[in-house]
Amino acid sequence: MRFFIEQVGLCGPGLTSWGSAQNILAGREPYSDGETIIPALSLLPSNERRRAPRLVKLALAALTDALPPRAEHPCDYASVFASSGGDGEAVHAIMETLAGTAPELSPTRFHHSVHNVAAGYWSIATGSRKATTSLCAQNGSFVAGLMEAGCQAASASEKVVLVAYDLPYPTPLSEVRPIGGTFAVCFLLSPHASDETIARIDFSLASAAPTLCRHAALEKYRRSIPAARALPLLECVARRENKTLTLAYREDCSATLDVTPVS
């Protein structure tokens, strides 16, 4: 399968946006680890912005980094949302309420617990009526999302936006499902090369050891945050390297990406 990357968005530990992170990922500037800073969002109407949970703000931060509000037609793209477990904070709050003495569940809280909540807020923000897919493949969610978005782009011959995102679970859920940080990445994929293309991707499935991050500090996030399995691809695109990468997917299967920079 072949597709093309036109835009990238990013929000992660010490990586506040794709524009500011490119020199870090390319090795031209040092990396400083730190908390993930989720920027304020003006994209949502005020009521939705007030209600939006942190997971939605994280996903939309990467989306608006790749497709800023000044973009002409963000609502024209089909979308794929990939998360390894959805909003664990909402699930934790629901379980706390149900275990309490007054198990009266907020409808808004329940609404935020569904797996397609970020897709819903994105549709509200952009007015998009295009198809959207929300998926989960546990630790392999980024590759599953990339495969789904690439297939959609190729089969429908139209651009598709992919966003993968993860938040840590609160205690005690984090003890059985640890996620090592807050991270979101977004790619606008196209079935054809254009003046906006920055890289060509030839995608296949194989069985091989995953490509590691060049930065040791980033490698710990690649290992501990499912969405951050995109980091070797981000490094390769930032360095404009012609390279074959292997991204972890399932225990018995990985994804091979032949990355070719396009000027």
How many Å apart are CA 47 and CA 159, to the nearest integer? 30
Alpha helices in the chain (DSSP H): 18-25, 46-51, 54-66, 88-99, 107-113, 117-126, 141-156, 173-176, 216-224, 231-239
Rank 73-87, 107-121, 190-204 by mean pLDDT and report only the highest.
190-204
The dihedral of CA 93, 95, 99, 101: what is its sign? Answer: positive
The model's pLDDT over 155-198, given as tens digits with 9 standing for 90+, comes to: 999 999 999 999 999 999 999 999 999 999 999 999 999 999 99
Residue 209's alpha-carbon distances to 54, 75, 180, 217, 263, in angstroms, are 33, 38, 21, 19, 30
- Tell me: pLDDT of 201 over 90: yes
Digit-coded pLDDT (tens) for 101-117 = 888 877 877 778 889 99
13: CATH = 3.40.47.10
Q: Which helix (H) or strand (E) holds 134?
A: strand 132-135
79 three-state secondary structure: strand
What is the spatial distance between Cα 181 and Cα 95, in angstroms, rounded to a whole number?
Answer: 22
**Burial letters 231-245, b for 16+ CB under 10 A, else e:** bbbbbbbbbbeebeb
- Asked if pLDDT for residue 71 goes beyond 60, the answer is no
The boundaries of the domain holding residue 50 are: 2-261
The C-alpha R_g of the chain, in whole angstroms, comes to: 18
Question: Model-level pTM greater than 0.85?
Answer: yes
Q: How many structural domains are present in the chain?
A: 1
What is the dihedral angle through the alpha carbons of 204, 205, 208, 210, rounded to the nearest 10 degrees? 70
- What is the rounded distance in angstroms from the CA atom of residue 84 to the CA atom of residue 166? 7
- Choice between 137 and 72, residue whose per-residue pLDDT is larger: 137
Least confident of 52-61, 66-75, 150-159: 66-75
What number is the average pLDDT over the span 5-20?
Answer: 96
Q: How many Å apart are CA 60 and CA 43, to the nearest integer?
A: 9
Cα dihedral 152/154/156/157 (nearest 10): 140
